[in-house]
Chain A
Amino acid sequence: MCGIVGLLVRNPKMRDSIGELMLPMLIGMTERGPDSAGMAIFGAPVSADARKFSLYSGVADFNWTKLGHDFEKHLSIKAKIEPKANHAVLTTTLEPATVKIWLKEHYPQLHLLSVGQLMDIYKDIGTPAQVAERYDFKNFKGTHLVGHTRMATESAVTPAHAHPFTAGEDWCLVHNGSLSNANSLRRKLQYEGIEFETDNDTEAACRFLQWRMREGDDLETALNHGFEELDGFYTLLMGTSTELALVRDPYGCKPAIIAEHDDYVAIASEFRSLAHLPDIKNAKVFEPSPKEMYVWKL
């Protein structure tokens, strides 16, 4: 089991309270995923030449200020560091490839969770309520978000194994289900030069889509290849800079329910995570069909 939640706020007036709207959605999925939780939030963009790097330290007392100083000193470039518990967002105009090499060389213990102009990722072990409290999910502001509550079935309970996963700038994915051919996918993709951070089956699905898109597929074509190659059960929810996308496996083994309203589009594994949303009675509530791709644009 696992829980997924997604929220895209259409009404600009409600975007400052996206965190408050989402929090009961995530906590509502605690029974489906009590061991870890994560959230990708698409907020205000940084300047066109800058990137945000979401970093995870694994220890609460990590010295982020020192990292900021080291970065500026070694690379002679400005950087902004915004710590939040054992995560921090580093913003700089230095090109991502150089930042990644520097981080690997000087701070190999850190996990780089995401790179982008809009998206921050927070994920950690603990109940959804604990993780949300730790990273102040309630005060998130932004246009859309993708969240997950995890009940681990096939790999370890660590922050790195929690969702969302990323496969490119401002691109993330969460997964409810399990894949039986994750190992063979991983071997195949490693021959293609795709790097993995964990042995998680969702990461294999994520890297598969990353590989397909590197080969020139758009998201829809990549997912159609996915229907052929991903063996198992899945509901996948993806976020990009301007949209949310959802697919269910051809056997509809894993649930999803959608509420479309003039003010928002909300997605969850079960209706109980949507019940509190404003004016939900007038939303169009429906179940997505298996093997169909649903996309909502901002």
Chain B
Amino acid sequence: METLKFDLDTKSLREVNQFLHGDASGLNGKSIVIENPNGAHNIAVGLKAELDVTIKGHAGYYAAGMNQIAKVTIEGSAGSGVAENMMSGHVHVKGFASNAAGATANGGLLVIDGDAGLRCAIALKGADIVVGGSVGSFSAFMAQAGNFVILGDAGEGLGDSIYEAKVFVRGKVKSLGADCEEKTMNAEDRQILADLLKKSGYADVSPDSFKQYGSARTLYHFHVDNAGAY
């Protein structure tokens, strides 16, 4: 596999991102290393080719946002909105991630080895997110679809106003948000969890050590008692 190196100390991020946005036929199969990211914002956003991108350090806001197909590895931490609105592909943060990690993500897999900040997986729309550490308050707020696995603890208001996303937590949950409740894990859900643990490097963690949470479906279903209001 061909490997290309870019050093953000000597090359502008715009040039690097424009290269990564080139015609997919010329990029597919390439391996890219980005050195000295030094917390720059918008690194490797909007990728849509079979690229393997490694960011050698800490990334700023929106790293790997809107990702499609590509695999992006951040060796340090990520700022707000990492992999936000990802459509497909794989984003791996080896450090911690700040607020709104994986916000509105439609598809693909986001793995965060460390902790994630507040509002992780907010408005999740179908992607899978695995957090090795703990997540902050208001995570999975209005999450619509997808699977969200937390190996550590969750903060306040987990899954507030959640729709049909599935949330699996191994540690403690400080509090559940409105209309979020504990569920009984069925065989199908257990399989989803086991597969995700395997895919994200936690094959040795038993799915049975998790509790599952989801929507109580009292907020978003029409209730006949309210018919008089219309």
- Residue positions of A touching B, CB distance < 8 A: 251-252, 255, 270-276, 285-287, 289-290
Tell me if B137 and A272 are in contact (CB < 8 A).
no
Tell me if B39 and A275 are in contact (CB < 8 A).
yes
For residue A248, give the distance in angstroms from its CB to the closest CB of chain B: 10
Q: A252 contacts which chain B residues (CB < 8 A)?
A: 99, 117-118, 136-137
A271 to B82, CA, bound (A): 14
Q: A289 contacts which chain B residues (CB < 8 A)?
A: 136
Q: A272 contacts which chain B residues (CB < 8 A)?
A: 38-41, 60
Q: A274 contacts which chain B residues (CB < 8 A)?
A: 39
B96 at the A interface (CB under 8 A): yes
Q: B40 contacts which chain A residues (CB < 8 A)?
A: 272
- For this complex, 24 residue pairs linking A to B, each with C-beta atoms less than 8 Å apart, are A252-B137, A255-B79, A255-B80, A255-B99, A270-B39, A270-B60, A270-B61, A271-B38, A271-B58, A272-B38, A272-B39, A272-B41, A272-B60, A273-B39, A275-B38, A275-B39, A275-B57, A275-B58, A285-B76, A286-B96, A287-B77, A290-B118, A290-B136, A290-B137
Q: In residues 61-117 of chain B, which contact A (Cβ within 8 Å)?
A: 61, 76-77, 79-80, 95-96, 98-99, 117
- Residue positions of B touching A, CB distance < 8 A: 38-41, 57-58, 60-61, 76-77, 79-80, 95-96, 98-99, 117-118, 136-138
Q: B79 contacts which chain A residues (CB < 8 A)?
A: 255, 270-271
Q: Known contacts A251-B138, A255-B79, A270-B39; can you find 6 more A-B pairs with CB under 8 A?
A: A251-B137, A252-B118, A271-B38, A271-B79, A285-B76, A290-B137
For residue B142, give the distance in angstroms from its CB to the closest CB of chain A: 16
> Which chain A residue has the least Cβ–Cβ distance from B77?
A285
Q: A276 contacts which chain B residues (CB < 8 A)?
A: 38
Q: A270 contacts which chain B residues (CB < 8 A)?
A: 39, 60-61, 79
A interface, by DSSP: helix, strand, loop or mixed? loop
Q: B118 contacts which chain A residues (CB < 8 A)?
A: 251-252, 290
> Which chain A residue has the least Cβ–Cβ distance from B95?
A285
A287 to B136, CA, bound (A): 11
Q: B136 contacts which chain A residues (CB < 8 A)?
A: 252, 289-290
Tell me if B117 and A287 are in contact (CB < 8 A).
yes
For residue A24, give the distance in angstroms from its CB to the closest CB of chain B: 11
Interface-central residue, A255, A270, A271, by most chain B CB under 10 Å: A271
> Which chain B residue has the least Cβ–Cβ distance from A286?
B96
For residue A192, give the distance in angstroms from its CB to the closest CB of chain B: 33
Tell me if B38 and A287 are in contact (CB < 8 A).
no
Tell me if B77 and A271 are in contact (CB < 8 A).
yes
Tell me if B58 and A285 are in contact (CB < 8 A).
yes
Tell me if A271 and B39 are in contact (CB < 8 A).
yes
> Which chain B residue has the least Cβ–Cβ distance from A250?
B137
> Which chain B residue has the least Cβ–Cβ distance from A31?
B41
Q: B58 contacts which chain A residues (CB < 8 A)?
A: 271, 275, 285
Interface-central residue, B38, B60, B61, B80, by most chain A CB under 10 Å: B38
